[in-house]
Structure 1
Amino acid sequence: MAQADHVAVLDEGPDGEQHDRARRMLAAPERLRSFFAPRSIALVGASDGSGWARFIMESLQTAGFAGPLRLVHPVRAEVFGRPTVPSLRALDENVDLAFVLAPTHAVEGVLEDAATAGIHNLVVLASGYGDGGGEEGRERERRLVERAVELDLTLLGPNCLGFVNASAAVAPFGLHIAPPLRRGHVGVVLQSGALTSNVLAFARAHGIGISLLTSMGNEAVITAADVLEHLITDEDTRVIGLFLETIRDPQRFAALALRALQVGKPIVALKVGRSPAGQLAALAHTGAVAGDDAVVAAALRQFGVIRVDSLEELLITAGLLGSGQVPAGRRMGVVTASGGACDIIADRSADEGVEIVEFSEPTTARLREVLPSFAAARNPLDVTGIILADRTSAEANLGDAALTAVTADPHLDFVLNLVSLPAAMPPDPSIPERRIADIAATIERSPIPVVNFSATCSDLSEFGGSLLDRHDLHVVGGIEFGLTAVGHAIRWNEVRQDRASRPAAAPAPAPRVASDDLPGGAWSEARARDLLAAAGVPVVPAELVADADAAVAAAELLGYPVVLKVCSAAIAHKSDVGGVALGLGDADAVRAAFARVIAAGRTVTDDVEGVLVSPMRTGGTELFVGVTVDASFGPVLAVGLGGVFIEVLRDVSLRVLPVDPTEVVRMLGELRGAPVLAGARGTVPVDLQAVAEVATRVAECARSLGPALQVLEINPLRVDGSDVEALDVLVVTGPS
C-alpha cells in the first residue's frame, strides 16, 4: 500500500497548534496502551467477498484472540456465517476497537457512528487520502484528522493494514499470518503495509519473538513517533525495530531516541530513501559532504540508534538485543565444532572490532581435560565434529563441558557459541534435547552473556524451534548477520555508557544576530571574518584595502610574506577567478598582485569591496569546519581534513547541533585521517582540545544566525600544535 508523503497538516497559527496538541493527546502512551490491546473488536464493512475481512478474522484466530468479534454491514444480515448489525450504533454492547473496511466516502460517517457508540479506537484501511499525492486527498485527510480530534477518536491510518500484538494475543491485521505467532520482546514499527507479512514470516522462521508489530499507513493521527514513545514505556518490549521511509518530526524523534537509550531499550532502524545533497553545494563544501542521507546516518548514530541496511539485519540484530544475552564488551570467546567456522568468525570479528583474546591458563587446562587429544585448546575453539558425530561424546556432552569452561574465563566479556539444530526430528531426539538443555543450564549459571548462533541464516525446523522454545533459548541466524548484530550491540552499549557519563548541560548559543541586518546570499569575507571574530573564533589578521599603497602599508605592518585576496560577496571561490595571490615577499610584488587581483574580481562583478591583505601562513595541519542546515534536523556541524582534501577525500564527521568540545574531540577521532592529527611522519600533533573549543565556537556562531543561516564554514582552519587560526571564511544567509 502506498503511503502518504507527509502527515496531514492542520491550519497554521495558534488554532492549528492547538489542534496538533489535541491530536498528540489522542496518541499519548496511556491511550495507545488500550488501543493496541483491545478486548473486543468490531469489523465494519465486513463481507464474504472481502479478502481484507477474511485475513483479519484469520489473523485474530492465529493470535489467539478470545474476545467478542462483531461484524457490521449496512445490508447483509449474515457474513461468514455470523450475524451482523447494520452500524456501530446498533451494537448492543460497547467494543474497544473498530476496524473500518468501509470505502473512503463512507469513512467519516463511520467515525460519527463510533463516537455515538462510545468507541474511541479505530483502524482505517481506506486509501485516497494523503497517500494519493493530490490536493483533494490531502484535504480529505485534514478533515479526517479534524473529525478525529473533535470526536475524541484515536485513529491508526488511513491506508493502514492494522497491527499485531502478540503479547496481548490480538491481531486486527489485514494480511495472512503463518501460525504460530511467536511472542517475544521485539516491537516493530513499519512505515509500510505489505512488508509486515514478510517481517512476521522471517521472525517466525528465525525464532524472533514479537511484542507488537504495526503498520502505520498515513500517520494522520497516530504517528511512528507516537508508537515509538509507547514502546519505550511498554513492559513487554525490550528492543524497538523501525522501518522508516521518512523521519517526520526529527526533533521529537531525537528526544525519544535519547530517552530510549537512557532507559536501555535499543532502537534498530532501517531508514530508506536517499536524496541529493543540498543546493548550496555549488557555493560551499559543507552541503556536498553533509548530504541528506549522510546527515541522517550521523544523527541516528549520535542519538544512539542502530542503523541497518536490510530487513534481515534489522530483525536478527533486534532478536539478539531482545534475547537477554547482549554482549557489553569486545573480548569474545568462541566455541564451535568447525575449524572453517572459526576462520570465518576470526575474519568477521576483525571487521566488527571484536577481540578474540587468548584463554587464561586455568581455562586452557580445563579444556585439555575435556577435549579430544587432537583438539587445540585455543580461542577460537574448535571442539571438532567428533563431539556431534561420536555417540559416546555426544551423550557425554563434551561440547557443553567445553562451553562451561570457556564461560568461566576471566579474560572474556561474552561467548559466541555455535549451535547445530536438526533439520528434522532425528531417530533419537533425546541427544539434541539433552544438548540444548545443557546449553540452557550453562547459560543460566554463566557469569557472562552467551550468544548462540547458527553457521548459516537458515530457517528453523519445527523440531529445532520447539527445542529452543522449551528451553527459552535464542539462536542468532548465521555467522555474517550474527557478528554484524554482535558489533551493533557492543557499539550501542558503548554509546549508552558514554551518554551516561556526560554532563547534562548543552552549550549556550551565542547571542542572536539581528536578522533584519543580514544580507541575503553569500557574505563578503571581511564581514564573515568580523562575525567569527566577535564570537571568539581566532582568525588570521587581515586588512581590507582599496589601493596598492594601502596594500603595501598593510603588508609591512603584518610582515612579509603576505597573501592578497579579492573581497566580494559575489565571489565565493576566489582562486577560481584569479582573485588570490600567495607568498608575496616585497612591496613591488604586492603592488603587482593588487592590480591583478582587483582586476580579476572586477571581471566577475562590480561589487568589489577591496582586497584583503593577510600574513602568509605555512606548515601546520589544515582542517575543515563547517555548518549547514539540514531540511529535517536543522544545523549540522562537519569537521574533517581541510584544504583540497575536503574535495578529494570527503573525510568528515557530522553532528546535529548543539555539540560540546568533548563531542567534537570524538568527531575528530572518527576521521579516516585521524592518524594525521596525531602527528604522522614527524609532524606536530594537533591539539584536539584546542580545535574542539574553536569548532564549538564556530557551531554556536552559526546557531546565532537563527533561521537565516544557510552555510558557515572555515576552509582551511590551520592548526599548528595548539595554535588554531581560520584562514578562509564563508557565510551564506537567506530568508528565515
Structure 2
Amino acid sequence: MSANSLKEFFDPQSIAIIGASKDLTSISGKPMKNLLHHQYKGQIYPVNPRYEEIEGVKCYSSILDIPRKVDLALIAVSASRLLSILEECIQKEVYNILLFSSGFAEIGESGRKIQDAVAKLAKDNGVRIIGPNSVGCLNVKESIPMGFATSLEAENGFKRGNIGLVSQSGALGFSVFGLAQEEELGFTYVVNTGNEMDVTTIDTMEFMLEDEETTVIAAYMEGVPNGQQLIQVAKRAKELKKPLIILKTGKSEIGKEAVSSHTASLAGSEEIFEVIAKQYGILTVKDIDEMIDVMKIVSRRKWANGRKLVTVSNSGAAGIAMADFSEEFGLSLEPLQGKTKEVIEATIPSYGSALNPIDITAQALKEQHIFTETLETLVKDDNTDIIVIQTTFGGALGEEICRKVAEIDKREEKPIIVTVTGTEELTGKGRKVLRESGVPVYKTTYDTMVAVKHLADLSQFYHRENQAIVLSPEVLNIKAEDNRTAVWTEEKSKALLKQLAITVPLNAVAESYQEVEQVIADLNFPLVAKVISEDILHKTDAGGVKLNIQNADEAKQAFEEIVASSKKYKEAAKVTGVLFEEMLVEKGVEMFIGIKRDPQFGNFIVCGLGGIFIEVLKDISIRHLPIAKADALSMVEDLKGYALLQGTRGSGKADIEAFVEALVKISSFVYIQKDNLKEMDINPVIVLSEGKGIVALDGLLVWDNVEAPDLVVNP
C-alpha cells in the first residue's frame, strides 16, 4: 500500500456511520456525537434501518441508499454481518473502511476465518481497512474525530502540532495522546490500527512520513508486521530527519502470550528488533512516560552537534546525579575551558563551582542575573553541545527564571533542557511557561537524562554518513561454482574464504588411508587433522579432530582413528575424507564470524569471542546486512572482549582492521546471495598482532536447500 493511498482515509469529505445509534453514549453512537461536537465540515450519513434521523441528520436504511459519494465508512456491526456489509460498500464504491467491531482473530480460529474472508474480499476489490478492533482515528489538523475513543470527546478541542501517533492498542494510544496534550504537545494524526487486517502500524508510519506537517512519528507495536518495510521506513525517516519513536511490547514469555490473545500479532525476537532499531536510528522506549518524554525533546528538532553536556544547577546534589547519569548514558561532561570558564567563575559566587556540573548556588535566589548570564555564556561555548538546567526555584522567582530560559531558547539552536523539581503548587507555573514555549521540561533528573540520551543518540545518527556499500563479486573475487550440496563442510568453506582474501592455513584432503602420505607431502609439520562429513558438524564431539601431528606415521594413524571415532559417534554418517592442515603457531585472539537468519528481517552478521568462549561468555555483536565499514568497527567496539583486541598486559594490539575488513567482505558475499544462504559459521578466526592479519581455522556454510543455486556472480 502506498503512503498517498491513505490520504483520503484520514481526510474524508464524507463519512457514513453504519450501525449508528441514537444512544450517543454507546460505541455506535459516540462517532456521530464526536463529529457533530467538533463541527466536522464534511457530510455525515448515519446508516441504520431503525431510525429516520439521528440528532437532526437524515438516517439511511443502507449505505446503498445514500445519494452521494462516500469517502469513508465507519462500521460498528457484529463480525457475523461484516461480509454482507462489505459487499454493499464495494457496490457503493466506498474504498475506505474503519472497523470498530471485535470478534475476529483475537478470539481464536472462528474469528480468524471471518477476518481472513473479509481481508480477501477487501484486497480483491481495492478496499482499505483499519481494524477490526479499532477505537478510531483522529485527524488533528482538520479536527476530524473518527471513532469512539474517550479522548475524542475533549470539550476544548485538540492541540495541533507536528507529532503523528499510531498504536495497535486504542486504549494505550489515545491515553498517550491525552497525556501528551496536557504537556502541551501537539499532533497531526492519531491512529489505532487494532488487529491490522489490512492497514498496519508501518503503513500508517509510511503515510505520516510523507505528510509535511508531521515531523515526529511515535508508534506502539505488539509485533512487526513487515520487517523489510520497517527498515525502508526508518531509512526514509533518516533522509527526512523525522524521528521514529517505538514502544514495542511482547518481550517476556508472558508478554508474548498476552500479545497473541490481544491482537493476534506474533512478537518477534526482541534482540533482533533492538539491533534493527539501533542500526537504523529508531528510538525505542520502555513505557508511555518515556515515549512522551522523548516526544518533548525531539519534537523541537534541535539536534546536538555532539555528546558534550554541560549541566547547571542551584543544587550540588542534583549536579552529582546528572554527572552519574551522564556517565551511565555515554554522555560527556568535560570541564569548562578558556574564556567560558573565566566568565562563569566571575559570574557565580566564589563558593560555587565553575567545573562541570556548574553549581550556581542558592545565591541565584537573590541575584537572578547569575542564572541567565551563566546560560548566555554557555550557549556561545563551542565546546558545549547540550545544556541541561536543574532548578528548584518556585513562586514568582522560579516563573521569571523559566521565562528568561524560554527567551534564550527561542533564539538559540543549541538544545536547552530543563529539570524543574518541586510541587505543582510551588513550581507548576514555571513548568507551564516552559511547556507553552516548547522548552523540554521534566520533573526528575533521571527522566531528563534519559531524554537527553535519546536526543544525543539520534543526533549522532543523523550526523553519521554510514551507507553500506555492497562489494561486487569481481572485487570479492568470487567465482561461479556448482554448489549442489546443502552443506559446505570445512574444506569447501575455506576455499570460498580464500576467494574472499581471508587467510586460511595450507591444507589438503585425504579421501582414503592410502592417500595420506602423498596428500601431506607439501605441508609443514605440525599438522591438525579433521573429519569431513556433512553429517558431523561438531567435529570435536565426535572425536573427529587430532592436533599436533609430527610426521607421516602419526598422520596415517590420525586418519584411521578419526574415521573410526566418527562412525562410532554416528554410524550412518557419510565420511568423505580427512582434512590435514598446518597448525597455526602464532598466538592471537580467538574470534568468530557468523550469519543469523531472521524470518522478519532477513540476514544478520554476528561476531564475538570465538572458540569455547562463544558458548560460555555469549559476548556477541549483531548487525543487519549489508554493513558499512563503520558498522563493522562499531560491532567490534561493542564487545566486552574488545579490550583483548586492543591489547592487555603482556600482549600487543591485535589486527582489528583486518577483522573489520573480513566482516565487510562476508557481509557483501552473504547479501548478494539473497536468501539462498541459510547459515555461515567461521569459528575460530584468529586475529593476529596488528599488521599480521587474521586466519580462519574452521568454517561451515549451510544453503537453504539441497538444490541450492550457484554462487551469485552478478548481484
SS in structure 2 opposite 1:171?
Answer: strand
Amino acid at match of 2:450: T
TM-score by length of 1: 0.84
Report the counterpart of residue 437 of structure 2 in structure 1.
Answer: 471
Per the TM alignment, residue 232 of structure 1 is displaced from its structure 2 partner at its CA by: 1.2
CA distance in structure 2 between the partners assigned to 1:458 and 1:705 by the alignment: 60
Amino acid at match of 1:616: M
> In 2, are the aligned partners of 1:711 and 1:732 still within 8 Å (CA)?
yes
Change in CA separation of 1:716 and 1:82 when aligned onto 2, cut-off 3 Å:
same
Change in CA separation of 1:440 and 1:464 when aligned onto 2, cut-off 3 Å:
closer
CA distance in structure 2 between the partners assigned to 1:546 and 1:235 by the alignment: 67
User: Which residue of 372, 377, 390 maps to 1:400?
Assistant: 372
Amino acid at match of 1:448: K
SS in structure 1 opposite 2:189?
Answer: strand
User: Which residue of 380, 395, 410 maps to 2:357?
Assistant: 380
> In 1, are the aligned partners of 2:469 and 2:627 still within 8 Å (CA)?
no
Per the TM alignment, residue 637 of structure 1 is displaced from its structure 2 partner at its CA by: 0.9
Report the counterpart of residue 437 of structure 1 in structure 2.
Answer: 403
Report the counterpart of residue 731 of structure 1 in structure 2.
Answer: 701
> In 2, are the aligned partners of 1:317 and 1:482 still within 8 Å (CA)?
no
Stretch of structure 1 that moved more, 367-376 or 212-221: 367-376
Amino acid at match of 1:38: P
Q: Percent identity?
A: 26
Per the TM alignment, residue 626 of structure 1 is displaced from its structure 2 partner at its CA by: 0.8
Amino acid at match of 1:418: Q
Once superposed, which parts of structure 1, at least 4 consecutive aligned residues long, lie more than 6 Å away? 61-64, 456-462, 510-515
> In 1, are the aligned partners of 2:469 and 2:628 still within 8 Å (CA)?
no
User: Which residue of 645, 654, 663 maps to 1:686?
Assistant: 654
SS in structure 1 opposite 2:59?
Answer: strand
Deviations 1:189-235 (CA, angstroms, capped at 9, x unpaired): 21223212331233234443332221112323322222111111112
Gaps of 5+ in 1: 1-23, 277-290
> In 1, are the aligned partners of 2:399 and 2:429 still within 8 Å (CA)?
no
> In 1, are the aligned partners of 2:137 and 2:146 still within 8 Å (CA)?
yes
Change in CA separation of 1:338 and 1:217 when aligned onto 2, cut-off 3 Å:
same
Matched, 1:33 2:7: yes
Matched, 1:617 2:573: no
Amino acid at match of 1:613: F
Deviations 1:327-354 (CA, angstroms, capped at 9, x unpaired): 2311112122222211110000011111
Per the TM alignment, residue 471 of structure 1 is displaced from its structure 2 partner at its CA by: 3.0
Amino acid at match of 1:720: L
> In 2, are the aligned partners of 1:63 and 1:166 still within 8 Å (CA)?
no
Stretch of structure 1 that moved more, 364-373 or 594-603: 364-373
CA distance in structure 2 between the partners assigned to 1:70 and 1:670 by the alignment: 58
Change in CA separation of 1:470 and 1:668 when aligned onto 2, cut-off 3 Å:
closer
Per the TM alignment, residue 119 of structure 1 is displaced from its structure 2 partner at its CA by: 4.3
Report the counterpart of residue 610 of structure 2 in structure 1.
Answer: 642
Amino acid at match of 2:493: A
User: Which residue of 100, 104, 112 maps to 1:129?
Assistant: 104
Stretch of structure 1 that moved more, 155-164 or 548-557: 548-557
Report the counterpart of residue 507 of structure 1 in structure 2.
Answer: 471
Per the TM alignment, residue 31 of structure 1 is displaced from its structure 2 partner at its CA by: 2.9
Query: 5 Å matches for 1:659-670?
Result: 659-670=627-638
Per the TM alignment, residue 456 of structure 1 is displaced from its structure 2 partner at its CA by: 8.3
Stretch of structure 1 that moved more, 49-58 or 164-173: 49-58
> In 2, are the aligned partners of 1:334 and 1:417 still within 8 Å (CA)?
yes
Report the counterpart of residue 256 of structure 2 in structure 1.
Answer: none
CA distance in structure 2 between the partners assigned to 1:447 and 1:143 by the alignment: 53
Per the TM alignment, residue 673 of structure 1 is displaced from its structure 2 partner at its CA by: 1.6
Deviations 1:389-434 (CA, angstroms, capped at 9, x unpaired): x4x54xx464333322322223211211235586xxx6xxx65553
CA distance in structure 1 between the partners assigned to 2:288 and 2:516 by the alignment: 63
CA distance in structure 2 between the partners assigned to 1:459 and 1:201 by the alignment: 22
User: Which residue of 360, 374, 383 maps to 1:411?
Assistant: 383
User: Which residue of 554, 559, 562 maps to 1:594?
Assistant: 559
Matched, 1:566 2:531: yes
CA distance in structure 1 between the partners assigned to 2:437 and 2:296 by the alignment: 16
> In 2, are the aligned partners of 1:316 and 1:477 still within 8 Å (CA)?
no
How many residues are matched?
680
CA distance in structure 2 between the partners assigned to 1:63 and 1:195 by the alignment: 23
Query: 5 Å matches for 1:87-106?
Result: 87-91=62-66, 94=69, 96-106=71-81
Change in CA separation of 1:701 and 1:356 when aligned onto 2, cut-off 3 Å:
closer
Report the counterpart of residue 338 of structure 1 in structure 2.
Answer: 315
SS in structure 2 opposite 1:518?
Answer: coil
> In 2, are the aligned partners of 1:192 and 1:216 still within 8 Å (CA)?
yes
Structural RMSD (CA): 3.3
Per the TM alignment, residue 151 of structure 1 is displaced from its structure 2 partner at its CA by: 4.8
Amino acid at match of 2:415: P
Per the TM alignment, residue 519 of structure 1 is displaced from its structure 2 partner at its CA by: 2.8
Per the TM alignment, residue 669 of structure 1 is displaced from its structure 2 partner at its CA by: 2.3
Report the counterpart of residue 280 of structure 1 in structure 2.
Answer: none
CA distance in structure 1 between the partners assigned to 2:647 and 2:322 by the alignment: 34
Per the TM alignment, residue 624 of structure 1 is displaced from its structure 2 partner at its CA by: 0.4
Matched, 1:307 2:276: no
> In 1, are the aligned partners of 2:420 and 2:427 still within 8 Å (CA)?
no
TM-score by length of 2: 0.86
Report the counterpart of residue 257 of structure 2 in structure 1.
Answer: none
> In 2, are the aligned partners of 1:525 and 1:569 still within 8 Å (CA)?
no
Change in CA separation of 1:690 and 1:543 when aligned onto 2, cut-off 3 Å:
same
Relative contact order higher in (CA < 8 Å, ≥ 6 apart): 1
CA distance in structure 2 between the partners assigned to 1:466 and 1:165 by the alignment: 26
User: Which residue of 59, 69, 82 maps to 1:84?
Assistant: 59
Stretch of structure 1 that moved more, 116-125 or 456-465: 456-465
Report the counterpart of residue 5 of structure 1 in structure 2.
Answer: none
Report the counterpart of residue 217 of structure 2 in structure 1.
Answer: 240
Deviations 1:576-630 (CA, angstroms, capped at 9, x unpaired): 1222111222344434433322221110234112221111113122210111211
SS in structure 2 opposite 1:194?
Answer: helix
Matched, 1:578 2:533: no
Per the TM alignment, residue 691 of structure 1 is displaced from its structure 2 partner at its CA by: 2.1
> In 2, are the aligned partners of 1:205 and 1:459 still within 8 Å (CA)?
no
CA distance in structure 1 between the partners assigned to 2:32 and 2:206 by the alignment: 29
Deviations 1:123-142 (CA, angstroms, capped at 9, x unpaired): 111233344442x5444334
